[in-house]
Amino acid sequence: MDWTRVILAGVCGALGGVIATVVVGSARERRIYYVAVMVLSFTLLTVASDRYALPYVRQLVGAFDAQRALGRKWTPQPVDDSALSLALPDGLQPQVVDLPSEARDLITRFTMSTYERDGISLAVSHAIYKPGVPTTLKGAIDGAIANIAKTRGVSKVADSRRPWQVEGREGAIVDLKLEGKEEEMEGRALFLMQPSELWQVILLYQPNQTAGEQLASTLIDSARFDPQRAVPTR
């Protein structure tokens, strides 16, 4: 439930009652006019709230939550027991992912863990492809963006990409902006590849959040590869 919207709706309802009292007077004496003015006032205030107040309040709440996330402990840990390690928060939740049959024909292993707290949304995934399957970084990014739009229910995902490498592995950093009827979010994603292996790290947060951007930078800068760690096969 969107409690921010519920609270603002309650405020609009109370203000509608006050406006009706001021304009009409006693509700007992002029009940029909009182109700009409109250409903009209509530409708106009709700529209104005959704357009102007709600985004601002969500931004304030997001700023508070993101600052709380910064204060939590993010420790280096391997992603799916693979060679890549990242500074990640405690409480990552492994997810059961039902891959479509076309993907199952190409992938031998896929894991994903998520973190949905403190006003941020973090998803970390690791895929191992069957030998000989052609993979491209652009294809991985395009597929991830399409999936974000679908799962978040947004109408538009704008992205800005720049090349990135970690210890010789090809990669990219992608800045994201999600636009929808119910929410707007920003984020940053890290994609890394080596033969037959792909890592994706996607962090989303409320717009214009310095704390969210700091978390994204910390996450990306922490990426390290351990050459001694074997590729997981289970």
Among all chains, which residue has been given the structure tokens 């930078």? 217
86: which residues sit within 8 A by CB, 6+ positions away?
A: 76, 77, 79, 124, 201, 219, 222, 223, 224
| Boundaries of every domain in the chain | 3-68, 71-225
- The residue length of the chain stands at 234
- Whether domain 71-225 has CATH 3.40.1000.10: yes
Residue-level pLDDT at 15: 43
Tens-digit pLDDT string for the chain (234 aa): 343 343 334 443 444 444 444 445 554 555 554 455 455 554 554 544 455 444 544 554 555 555 555 567 788 999 998 999 999 988 889 988 877 777 778 889 989 999 888 778 899 999 999 988 888 899 889 988 888 888 877 888 899 999 999 999 999 999 999 987 767 889 999 999 998 899 999 999 888 777 788 889 989 999 999 876 555 555
Q: How far apart are CA 177 and CA 184, in angstroms?
A: 8
